[in-house]
Amino acid sequence: MAEAGLAPTMDAFGNLFGLPPGSEPCLLLGSHSDSQPEGGWLDGAYGVIAGLEVARATREAGGPPIAVVSFQDEEGRFNPLGGSRVWAGVLSPEEADRATDIAGMTLAEAREALTTFDISEPVPASRFRAFVEMHIEQGPMLDDAGESIAVVENIVGIRGERYRLTGEQNHAGTTPMHLRRDAFQGLAEFAVRLNERLAPVVTPRTVWTIGHATLHPSAASIVPGRAEFTMQWRDAETARLDQMTGIIRETAEAVARERGFGLERWAYAEIPPRLCDARLVEGLAGAAEAVAPGRWRRMTSGALHDAANLVPLMPTAMLFVPSIGGISHSFAEDTSRSDLVLGAHVLACASATI
Ligand code: HGY
Ligand code: MN
Ligand code: MN
């Protein structure tokens, strides 16, 4: 950032801004640079580096000042989109700090490692006039179509809850099947029954995932007494997210009741669907047509992005480049070098006009 003529500015939650000289509200580019366990090399980082390169090249060409941001904890080790939610004021620092990672460390404890940095006051949103996030698609649509750019028109909403099913830990050899309160069987029945109950209310774009699950005590000769798991669902429509919330909770309660389990639930994320700024979208579309005529499309983002938290604060939009094979959140995540460079060209062209 310093080499690009930007003042590196980190806030107490690890959001790192590169600020150009002056105080005129300027365009903000960027994304996040934290990653998922076994995450790929481009998710987030591409948007930060492409933003930095456009800010540097624009400055060297005597163009307008451009700021760059790398938001913290987008991937939700502690809080999904946590850094930008705290920065946008939609998640209180106190609540954010109470969140724990799957190893049980709180964000408050993890943030102590930041004390070695020169921490600044939060950068006010009024410093920026618009935000454009460059990102990989993380899905198959561009790659399947042989296209190189997507202009994102809207971002789906997400809800997430953690559940704990408590049955009865017992001997795996002496406990007859009909006497067991096997927490894994409860989780398995929940997952199968949920797929059946959601089928009538979802679309082909709706998704729901049990991505993290642990059994206690997780031993081959012990009937598991406890199952803890995350439940996450996403859709572009708030009404459908609400319907799904009801079905998910009712299904968990019914399985617990029928099998005599204890059931506990904690909500951990709720980010509404967002529309990108229409004027910015047209500006990005113009740049895509100029740089990659006929090889771009408009689309919905099925992944969540920090841009979702900036929509209420300033005109916000996104650009995607293809993910080879649609793979992401995996070491296999990749994008062709030519598409990475072409994406930066579209971002530079758009940044000069929006
Ligand atoms: O899960 C997401 O949508 C984002 O990649 N963290
Ligand atoms: Mn990302
Ligand atoms: Mn991600």
Find the 86 Cα to ligand 1 centroid distance in Å.
17
Question: How far is Cα 227 from Cα 214, in angstroms, rounded to an integer?
Answer: 6
Q: Please, how many CA atoms are within 13 Å of residue 119, restricted to the half-sphere of its CB? A: 12
Ligand 1: residue of 41, 71, 74, 152 to mutate (most ligand atoms within 8 A of CB) is 74
The fold of the 7-155+274-351 domain, in CATH, is: Aminopeptidase (3.40.630)
The answer to whether the bond into 200 is cis (omega within 30° of 0) is no
How do residues 162-202 score in pLDDT, each as one tens digit? 999 999 999 999 999 999 999 999 999 999 999 999 999 99
The fold of the 157-271 domain, in CATH, is: Alpha-Beta Plaits (3.30.70)
Give the whole-number percent of the chain exceeding pLDDT 70.
100
Rounded to the nearest 5°, which phi and psi values hold at 246?
A: -60, -45
Amino acid, res. 81: L
| Full-model pTM | 0.92
Ligand 1: residue of 329, 330, 333 to mutate (most ligand atoms within 8 A of CB) is 329
Give the domain ranges of the chain.
7-155+274-351, 157-271
How do residues 121-167 score in pLDDT, each as one tens digit? 999 999 999 999 999 999 999 999 999 999 999 999 999 999 999 99
Ligand 1: residues with CB < 6 A are: 74-75, 303-304
How do residues 215-254 score in pLDDT, each as one tens digit? 999 999 999 999 999 999 999 999 999 999 999 999 999 9
